[in-house]
Amino acid sequence: DIVMTQSPDSLAVSLGERATINCKSSQSVVFGSSNRDHISWYQQKPGQPPKLLIYWASTRGSGVPDRFSGSGSGTDFTLTISSLQAEDVAVYYCQQFCSSPYTFGQGTKLEIK
């Protein structure tokens, strides 16, 4: 199984500042001949289902603000929020969608400093 490890477990950032969350996979998440890293990022607020932010490591989901960006390749990936807004307080998860089981990271709790 591919193990997904996020860092840090929690993060406090001032409003307007940059927030960076890291995700490391235990092996490559490139699927077949697609040449795409099958990494997704999700945001989950209390009492709500997760929301897709990023897929294929760097493609923003529908309606996702452009302050959210994804980067990385191979086994190391990053979610960046360029200018933190109050509504971004949430838990963030990475996930690999390369091979079953489609494992999630343990989550990173993002708070306002």
Partner 1 sequence: EVQLVESGGGLVQPGGALRLSCAASGSTFRNFWMHWVRQPPGKGLVWVSHINNDGSETTYADSVRGRFTISRDNAKNTVYLQMNSLRAEDTAVYYCARSVGGFDSWGQGTLVTVSS
Residue 46 in the binding site for partner 1 (CB under 8 A): no
Residue 31 in the binding site for partner 1 (CB under 8 A): no
| HEC letters along the chain | CCCEEEECCEEEECCCCCEEEEEEECCCCECCCCCCECEEEEEECCCCCCEEEEECCCEECCCCCCCEEEEEECCEEEEEECCCCHHHCEEEEEEECCCCCCCECCCEEEEEC
Q: By C-beta, is 16 or 49 nearer to partner 1?
A: 49
Residue 69 in the binding site for partner 1 (CB under 8 A): no
Footprint of partner 1 (CB under 8 A): 1, 40-42, 44, 49-52, 54-56, 59, 61-62, 91, 93, 95, 97, 100-107
